[in-house]
Amino acid sequence: MRSIILLLKIYGSRDRAVRSFEAVIANDIKNIDASARIHVTNDGWVQIDITGEDDEFCANYLMTKYGAPVKEAEVGEVYKGYIDLIEEDGIIIDVGIKVNITLDGLKPLGTGDVKQIASRFGIIPHLPVSIEIVKVGDDTKVCFTKKQVDLWWKFKKSGTDRVIANAATRSELKAAVKKTGHARDIYGIERIGVLEHAIVCRENTDGPGIVADIGPLLKSELGVIIKHA
């Protein structure tokens, strides 16, 4: 048996989240001669015990696909992680350890305070993101990678609003959209993470209006990226 910890975060309803991750991992390894059992670490990461003839291959495959939490962040390195908290003085990212992107590190996302910038780009807790540790003079700071920043600006300039949701499966979002009569108002639902998605609105659909209607049906935090005028 091999045991690995993946860069996949459990939050909200633990039992429900574990079931969602079990389904995703089972699909990932369906063609591999191995089986996986999911546990949750004290820090909320997904731990997987792998058994079977191809257990080593399976472990390497999953580690390559998802990565692992780190214990130390080094200058010049890029890390994947999750939005942990959005505070007055910065956005906290969990990459295994928690690092803070201050307002200075958010400059590529435009003007405003931390919470205004987060609101502008639909940045909510638990979103998967990529960050970089950079050295500026004698100071070390954390910032989102250029790829991450470019993606948010691409969404902003796409000509349609996007509703960002966490703690929801694709089927739950589709059901909420259908129940509120908004199926005709969206193009579809994009996957951001296992339980994090973006609803892509049509050109004349108001993203905040979608949030107001589907919000009461979901146990989710919702953000919205309003198209650039």
- Boundary residue ending a domain (34, 66, 98): 66
- The runs of H, that is alpha helices, within 78-206 are 114-120, 146-156, 170-179
Nearest to 147 by CA among 129, 120, 127, 121: 129
The CATH number for 211's domain is 3.30.70.100
Domain holding 49, by residue range, is 2-66
128 within domain boundaries:
yes
How far apart are alpha carbons 116 and 132 in whole angstroms?
A: 22
92 and 151 in a single domain? The answer is yes
Mean pLDDT per 10-residue section of the chain, whose length is 229 residues: 95 90 95 95 95 96 96 93 96 96 96 96 97 82 96 95 95 96 97 95 96 96 92
102 within domain boundaries:
yes
84 and 151 in a single domain? The answer is yes
59 and 26 in a single domain? The answer is yes
72 within domain boundaries:
no
- Boundary residue ending a domain (66, 96, 112): 66
Position 85: which residue type?
L
178 and 193 in a single domain? The answer is yes
185 and 216 in a single domain? The answer is yes
Strand ranges across the sheet with 2-9: 2-9, 45-51, 35-40
Angle, CA of 73, 223 and 208, to the nearest 5°: 165
**Residues 3, 38: contact at Cβ < 8 Å?**
no
How many secondary structure helices (H) and strands (E) does the chain include?
Answer: 6, 12
| Alpha-carbon torsion angle 64, 66, 71, 76, nearest 10 | 70
133 and 181 in a single domain? The answer is no
SS3 81: strand
pLDDT of 186 reads 97
135 within domain boundaries:
yes
Chain centroid to Cα 174, Å, comes to 19
The CATH number for 88's domain is 2.40.50
150 and 163 in a single domain? The answer is no
151 and 190 in a single domain? The answer is no
- Other CB atoms within 10 Å distance of the CB of residue 135: 10
pLDDT of 135 reads 77
172 and 206 in a single domain? The answer is yes
Count up the domains in the chain and report the number: 3
pLDDT of 189 reads 97
71 within domain boundaries:
no
- Other CB atoms within 10 Å distance of the CB of residue 48: 23
C-alpha distances in angstroms, 107 versus 79, 118, 223?
A: 19, 12, 20
pLDDT of 136 reads 67
151 and 111 in a single domain? The answer is yes
64 membership: H or E segment, kind and range: helix 55-66
62 within domain boundaries:
yes
- Boundary residue ending a domain (124, 155, 186): 155
95 and 60 in a single domain? The answer is no
171 and 198 in a single domain? The answer is yes
β-partners of residue 132 are 78, 143
pTM of the entire structure? 0.91
